[in-house]
Structure 1
Amino acid sequence: MTPPATDSPAAPPVIALHGVGRTHPGRPPVVALHPTDLTVHRGEYLAVTGPSGSGKSTLLHLLGLLDTPTGGRYELDGIDTAGLRDRDRSALRGHRIGFVFQSFHLLPHRTAEENVLLAQVYNRTPRRARRAAALAALRLVGLGHRTDALPGTLSGGERQRVAIARALVNRPSLLLCDEPTGNLDPANAAAVLDRFDALHAEGFTLLVITHDPAVAARADRRLLLRDGRLTVPEVV
């Protein structure tokens, strides 16, 4: 399995935020994310850190097309997401973004292969191509030998790797990870982070949202989100 190819050397960034912000109505209104500019190019590995309540979930929901900004413009792969119908947003999200969460969200009575296969059903992947793609994704995360295993027989790290394979199977432009090691012990967390390093080396674009400085240290670019403002962290 290979990452999505660029159409030309001048291909647009995967993420381009232009003054994107999110304010919740109320008396007074609550600013969850101040107007933000951010560019993430294909193949980058970016980490966003910040304390609880800093706006990380808001940023995740906006980047993942799970919510809409109240100001600014968000372009994903050069596509202006403003004004898209819900159906078009869902299709864009399904084709261009892979999600990895703290919880694995695997179906317990389905094998690793079947859990990955199911991610393709909603993407209208031809039936005869689904199994080959699922197996390729599992091999990419080092689980080609556990395709028939049920989640209950896998370690926490292996279950997270199945979730990563499921996120990758549709060859998304962006792998968006939310506290991906939060439920893992140190050994399994290190194994998952090693896998992210390998995916980065393969050319995949990763954006990891975390509160853990050790997780963020693996990325080649780090940003700090505090009080809804995205900044470059100070080097101590």
Structure 2
Amino acid sequence: MTPPVIEFRGVGLTYPGPPPVEAFRPCDLAVNRGEFVTVVGPSGSGKSTFLNIAGLLDSPTSGTYLLDGIDTGSLRDAERTALRGRRIGFVFQSFHLLPHRSALENVSLAMVYNGVPRRERPTRAREALDRVGLGHRMEAIPTRLSGGERQRVAIARALVTRPALLLCDEPTGNLDTANADAVLNMLEELHADGMTILVITHDPAVAARGSRSVTIRDGLLSAAEGAVA
């Protein structure tokens, strides 16, 4: 039986004091392969802490986090970094593209530290850009791309390492309505192709695009009202 991509068993995070601050209260959560899960909550609710734990940027202070069946708490720092690079693709609100590098170069650079042989990188980068509909814009630099196109490059960069999980942090936050809808349509297409996607958002309309939604409030994660099981 295939393990969940994300499995939290009593995972929580408390920052040391004095006084200690419980940023994320212990919870259980499973995200199965091929799911499109949205995590919604207001500013200050604990979404960033959840993102940092799920993305292996922070370690929980309680519980067990299994990523693709691997107990992340048993790993050394270098092993966690390598696992993050292999298994998680990140998409951020602010794109984080290198401004003087082409779309193709930005996507190719994601493979430098992932053990992908140099000769394979251009082909894989082109395939990723084709997949997000930017095969005709490979040589464009970010300043010559629209906001929606830049986010598509960021998605291609996240996909090029062939991750188990696409982790998106407010991916439409800097986009107008039309471009936001285009990006969400693309995520739905990737989900239809079998990609496991988790989107962090404060926007209920974005949260509704997932196949299942959970909410975070005051560091507590729970099923959102009206969520699809």
Same fold (TM over 0.5): yes
1:20 aligns with 2:11: yes
Out of 51, 68, 75, the residue aligned to residue 59 of structure 2 is: 68
1:83 Cα offset (Å) = 2.9
Q: 1:231 aligns with which of 197, 211, 222?
A: 222
Q: Secondary structure, in 3 states, of the residue corresponding to 1:19?
A: strand
Query: Aligned to 1:171, what secondary structure does the other structure show?
Result: coil
**Deviation of the 1:28 alpha carbon:** 2.5
Partner SS state of residue 60, structure 2: coil
Give, in whole Å, the separation in 2 of the partners of 1:75 and 1:235: 27
Structure 2 CA distance for aligned equivalents of residues 27 and 129 of structure 1: 51
* Paired residue type of 1:211: H
For the pair 1:183 / 2:171, whether they are aligned, the reply is no
Cα distance in 2, alignment partners of residues 115 and 27 from structure 1: 43
Shift of 1:234: 2.0
Q: Which amino acid in 1 is paired with 2:166?
A: L
Structure 2 length-normalised TM: 0.97
Q: For residues 73-222 of structure 1, what are the structure 2 equivalents within 5 Å?
A: 73-222=64-213
Q: Distance in 1 between matches of 2:178 and 2:195?
A: 24
Distance 2:226 2:33 in 1: 25
Q: 2:179 corresponds to which letter in structure 1? A: N
Q: How many residues were matched structurally? A: 227
Partner Cα distance (2:224, 2:158) in 1:
29
Displacement of 1:27 in angstroms is: 2.8
Query: Normalising to structure 1: TM-score of the pair?
Result: 0.95
Q: 1:53 aligns with which of 44, 50, 62?
A: 44
5+ unaligned residues in a row in structure 1: which ranges? 1-9
Taking only the aligned residue pairs, the percentage that are identical comes to 67
